């Protein structure tokens, strides 16, 4: 393989993809084009908003494509005209068809937010926390037609903090992914790539969440609920219901004490948090967000929403 600059097409959309594009812009290769999702309505005003990748690309005067459909002959022909050596994908948001995967001479590579084969799918960072993984990280894969099933080209990992959330881990892995990407491209140029086949027996799924998937099940152990709440922060967030009203839950802490009360019962409510019984140990909730209000600590919440010890915080099957 040549050590000359690679002609690259970059495909990505959200904040996660930005560090990878920035690294490519500052690197030795040539970015021939950037493909991202169309502008979408955002916020209460529903005003069209550009993807973060588009904003970065336009600041650097890169050609940006925002196709509504990518499985057309016309779009494939457009990509062919860029004469890419490789296509780099980072959270683009669509599955690439075979005609695009086979288009560049070095194929397509993807920056994925987990240590594959664990957490194949659209929400790997959230699931890494929900499952309590002791190490989290990124994988660079050679893309094939499967869902994150391609050969592993590179991996990098870190140890998550004990209070790590999906929101705090997201930028860390985005940056780690950009570093792993540049290492991979350097190895490609110098013909030093090591290719590893994924062990499908170790694979787990990481499907995207729906808005109401966060309804908490107090019948699970506190440790498991702690991971769930952190994994769903900031979206879609874990929640319970009090008197029919939704209460979103944040900043959990496992309290290693047992309770004779059934799961979901409020054991204590003070400025330190809401202490709730679970199937094993108890869970302290230090921040909440009531319906129509901002996120707040429990001291502020209890000033306006006094709760009685012994009341039930409704969840699944409770």
**Domain spanning 222-304, CATH architecture:** Roll (3.10)
Helix or strand (DSSP H, E) at 64: strand 64-65
Domain 7-202, CATH number (from 3.40.140.10, 3.40.50.10260, 3.40.30.10, 3.40.50.170): 3.40.50.170
- Which pLDDT tens digit goes with each residue over 85-131? 999 999 999 999 999 999 999 999 999 999 999 999 999 999 999 99
Q: Can you list the alpha helix ranges (DSSP code H) found in the chain?
A: 18-25, 52-59, 73-81, 98-101, 124-130, 166-189, 222-231, 298-304
- CA dist 119 and 128 (Å) reads 7
Q: Which residue has the higher pLDDT, 45 or 6?
A: 6
The proportion of the chain whose per-residue pLDDT surpasses 70, expressed as a percent, equals: 99
- Residue ranges of the domains in the chain? 7-202, 222-304
- 8 pLDDT band, cuts 50/70/90, is very high
- CA dist 180 and 286 (Å) reads 36
Segment 130-154 mean pLDDT: 98
- The answer to whether the beta carbons of residues 119 and 204 sit under 8 Å apart is yes
- 231 pLDDT band, cuts 50/70/90, is very high
Query: In the predicted model, is pLDDT for residue 197 greater than 60?
Result: yes
Separation in Å, CA 197 to CA 34, 163, 194, 201: 29, 33, 10, 12
Whose CA is closest to 90, among 179, 158, 160?
179
- Which pLDDT tens digit goes with each residue over 169-188? 999 999 999 999 999 999 99
Could you tell me if residue 32 is left (phi over 0), alpha (psi between -120 and 50 degrees) or otherwise beta?
Answer: alpha
Tokens of 53: 């990748």
Question: Do strands 245-255 and 266-270 pair parallel, antiparallel, or not at all (unpaired)?
Answer: unpaired
Burial-class residue 81 by CB neighbours within 10 Å (0-12, 13-18, 19+): exposed
- The answer to whether the beta carbons of residues 256 and 316 sit under 8 Å apart is no
Tokens of 306: 């006094």
DSSP 304: H
**In 3-state terms, the chain is what percent helix, strand and coil (to 5)?**
25, 30, 45
Query: What is residue 316's predicted lDDT score, i.e. its pLDDT?
Result: 84
């Amino acid at each position: 393989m040549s050590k000359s600059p690679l002609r690259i097409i970059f495909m990505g959309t959200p904040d996660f993809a930005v560090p990878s594009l920035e690294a490519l812009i500052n690197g030795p290769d040539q970015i021939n084009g950037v493909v991202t999702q169309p502008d979408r309505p955002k916020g209460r005003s529903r005003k069209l908003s550009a993807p973060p990748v588009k904003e970065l690309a336009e600041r650097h005067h890169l050609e940006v494509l925002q196709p509504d459909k990518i499985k057309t002959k016309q779009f494939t022909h457009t990509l062919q005209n860029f004469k890419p050596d490789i296509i780099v994908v980072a959270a683009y948001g669509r599955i690439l068809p075979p005609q695009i995967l086979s288009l560049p001479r070095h194929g397509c590579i993807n920056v994925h937010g987990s240590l594959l084969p664990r957490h194949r799918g659209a929400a790997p960072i959230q699931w890494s926390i929900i499952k309590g993984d002791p190490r989290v990280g990124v994988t660079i894969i050679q893309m094939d037609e499967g869902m994150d099933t391609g050969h592993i080209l590179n991996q990098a990992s870190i140890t998550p903090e004990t209070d790590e959330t999906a929101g705090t881990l997201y930028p860390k892995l985005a940056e780690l992914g950009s570093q792993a990407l540049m290492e991979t491209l350097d190895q490609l140029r110098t013909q030093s790539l090591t290719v590893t086949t994924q062990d499908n027996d170790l694979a787990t799924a990481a499907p995207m969440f729906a808005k109401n998937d966060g309804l908490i099940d107090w019948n699970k152990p506190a440790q498991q609920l702690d991971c769930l709440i952190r994994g769903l922060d900031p979206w879609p967030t874990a929640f319970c219901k009090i008197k029919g009203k939704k209460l979103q839950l944040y900043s959990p802490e496992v309290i290693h004490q047992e309770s004779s009360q059934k799961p979901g019962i409020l054991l204590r409510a003070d400025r330190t948090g809401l202490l709730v019984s679970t199937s094993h140990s108890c869970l302290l909730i230090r921040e909440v967000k009531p319906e129509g209000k901002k996120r707040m600590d429990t001291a502020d919440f209890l000033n306006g929403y006094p709760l009685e010890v012994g009341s039930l915080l409704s969840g699944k099957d409770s």
